[in-house]
Amino acid sequence: MLAQRLIERKRDGGRLEAGEWRALTLAYTAGHVPDYQMAAFLMACFIRGLDREETAALTEAMLGSGDRLTLADLGVPRVDKHSTGGVGDKVSLVLAPLIASLGVAVPMMSGRGLGHTGGTLDKLESIPGFRTSLTLTEAKGQLSAIGCALIGQTTEIAPADRKLYALRDATSTVESIPLIASSIMSKKLAEDLTGLVVDIKRGSGSFLPQLERDLELAESMIRLGADHGCPVVALVTAMDRPLGRACGNALEVEEAIHTLKGEGPPDLLELTYALGVEMLLIAGIVESADDARRRMEKAIGTGKAAEHFQKIIEAQGGNPGVVDDPAVLPQADECELFNAPRRGFVARVEPRTVGRGIIALGGGRMKLDERRLRDYGAARRLGRAGRAARNDLRTRPHRGRDRTSSAAAGRRHQ
C-alpha cells in the first residue's frame, strides 16, 4: 500500500517527505516494491517534477542505500569530473591522469554508453586487460598509491540508484532534471570528494539541448553539493558537433593518448584544460587559472601526464605498452577510405546522427560487425584530392559485447 499511496500523491501533483523517499527507495532496492509500481512512480515524477527538498531527499536516500569511500586519510584534495555525455567525448581519459599527475586524488567513477553517447568504461575496456570493476577497497588502495582510479559504479555504492537508473532507461524517464541530478550526485558524494567539476553538454548532440534546462541541472547539482559540503563547479560546453577527430572505443583511447602527449585535436585539448583549471582551483593547489594552465601544459610537455596514464593502466590490469604503441589496441579488419571529390569545407557534422551509429548495444546483446569512423577532413579545408574520412570495420566481437563506433571531427567552443 505504501507504493500505491505515494504513486497517487505524486500523480496528483503532491510531494513526498524525506522519510517517505527513504522508505520507498529502500523497499524498492530490497525487492519489496515491484518494477511496475516503481515505473509508474518514476513517470509521475517525470511529469510532475520534484521540488528542491524532494530532490535532496531522493539523493540522500540513494546515497544511504550503500557504502561510501572514506578518503580523508589520503591527505590530498579529492576532485572528480562528470560529463553529461557527448559524441567523441574522451576528455576523462586525458583529464584524470593529467590532474592526478599534479597531486590531486581523482576517484573517477564513470558509466557506459547510453542513448547516442559513448561510455568511458567501454573505452577503457578496449585496452587489453583493463579492469574497471574495482571494489571500494581496491579503489582506495590505488588512490593511495598513484592518486587515481578509473572505475564503474560498484555494487557497494548507491545500489538504489543502479536499480532505479536501469528502470528509468527502460521507461523513458531519464531526461528529468531532478532525477538526473540526484542520480549523479548520489554516486559522486559517495566518493568522499572535496570538490566536483561538471561538464554539462549543450547542443544537438546532448541529452539536454536547451540552455535553460542545462542551467537548471547545473544549479540543482551545485545546491546538492553545497548541502553535503562538496563544492561543485559546472561548465556548459558545446555539443553541436562531435568532439575531436575520432569516435569509437579503441580510436578514442588512441586519440586520448596522443592528446596526453600534446598531439591531440585543439578542441579536445582546450576543453581538457578548461575543466582541468577548475579542478585545480577547486582543489586549492594553484593560485590562479593561469598557474593551473601552465602546470597542465608542463605535465603534458614533459610526458608526466602520459606516464601517469601508464601507471593507471598497469594498476588496473591493462597493458601499459598501449601508451607507447597504440597499435596494441584492437585493430580493424578492413579499412574503407572516403576522398573529397573537390576542394571545399565540411561545414557540419551532426553529432546525434553520428552517435546513434556508434554506441555499443550492451545488455548482453551482440552484433558481429563493429564500425568505426575516423574523420580527417571535417571543419577544415579539403584539398583537391583530400582524404575526407576513414571507416574502420571490425568483424570480430570484442569481449562478448557489440562495440559499434564511429567518429567525426569538429571545432569545440567553450
92 and 192 together in one domain: yes
Residue 218, domain member (yes or no)? yes
Domain that holds residue 173: 72-322
Residues 340 and 308 in one domain: no
Question: What per-residue confidence (pLDDT) applies to 223?
Answer: 96
Could you tell me if 23 and 147 lie in one domain? no
Q: Is 24 within a domain? A: yes
Same domain? For 189 and 300 the reply is: yes
**Domain assignment of residue 182, yes or no:** yes
Query: Among residues 22, 78, 82, 123, which one is catalytic?
Result: 82
**pLDDT tens per residue across all 414 residues of the chain:** 689 999 999 999 999 999 999 999 999 999 999 999 999 999 999 999 999 999 999 999 999 999 999 999 999 999 999 998 888 899 999 999 999 999 999 999 987 766 566 689 989 999 999 999 999 999 999 999 999 999 988 888 999 999 998 899 889 998 899 999 999 999 999 999 999 999 999 888 777 778 899 999 999 999 999 999 999 999 999 888 888 988 888 889 999 999 999 999 999 999 999 999 999 999 999 999 999 999 999 999 999 999 999 999 999 999 999 999 998 998 877 777 777 777 776 666 666 666 555 544 332 223 323 334 443 333 333 444 444 455 555 433 333 332 222 233 233 333
Active site residue 204: no
Considering the domain boundaries, does residue 23 fall inside one? yes
pLDDT computed for residue 364 by the predictor: 29
- Taking residue 22's Cβ as centre, other Cβ atoms within 10 Å add up to 19
- Choosing from 266, 288, 322, the residue where a domain stops is 322
Q: Does residue 154 belong to any structural domain of this protein?
A: yes
| CATH code for the domain of 233 | 3.40.1030.10
Residue 168 within any structural domain of the chain: yes
Residues 65 and 25: beta-carbon distance below 8 Å: yes
With beta carbons less than 8 A apart as the criterion, state whether 147 and 106 touch.
Answer: yes
311 plus 179 within the same structural domain: yes
- CA distances, 317 to each of 144, 149, 201 (Å): 17, 12, 32
Task: Say whether both 264 and 342 belong to one domain.
Answer: no
Residue 314's pLDDT is: 98
- Pair (224, 253) in one structural domain: yes
Q: Which of 163, 168, 241, 412 is catalytic?
A: 168
pLDDT, position 175: 86
Q: Could you tell me which of 105, 109, 108, 113 has the C-alpha nearest to residue 89?
A: 113
Catalytic one of 187, 372, 394, 401: 187
Active-site residue 390, yes or no? no
Q: Are residues 18 and 105 in the same domain?
A: no
Q: What is the pLDDT of residue 342?
A: 77
Using the 3D structure, point to which of 322, 356, 375 is the last residue of a domain: 322
Catalytic residue chosen out of the listed positions 65, 83, 126, 183: 183
Q: Pick the catalytic residue from 161, 267, 375, 402.
A: 161
In the residue annotation, 183 being an active-site residue is answered as yes
Q: 375 forms bridges with which residues in the sheet?
A: 389
Domain edge (last residue) among 268, 287, 322:
322
Asked whether residue 34 is assigned to any structural domain, the reply reads yes
Asked, for residue 67, whether it belongs to a domain, the answer is: no
User: Bridge-partner residues for 195, per DSSP?
Assistant: 79
Whether 176 sits among the annotated catalytic residues: the reply is: no
Res 368: pLDDT: 28
Pair (318, 348) in one structural domain: no
pLDDT of 352: 62
Q: Would you state the pLDDT for residue 354?
A: 61
In a shared domain, residues 167 and 200: yes
Number of domains in the chain: 3
Provide the pLDDT for residue 389: 54
380: cell is 577544415
Q: 133 with 12, same domain?
A: no
10 is an active site residue = no
The closest alpha carbon to 332, from 55, 164, 126, belongs to 126
Same domain, 181 and 32: no
Report the alpha-carbon distance of residue 128 to residue 147 in Å, rounded: 22
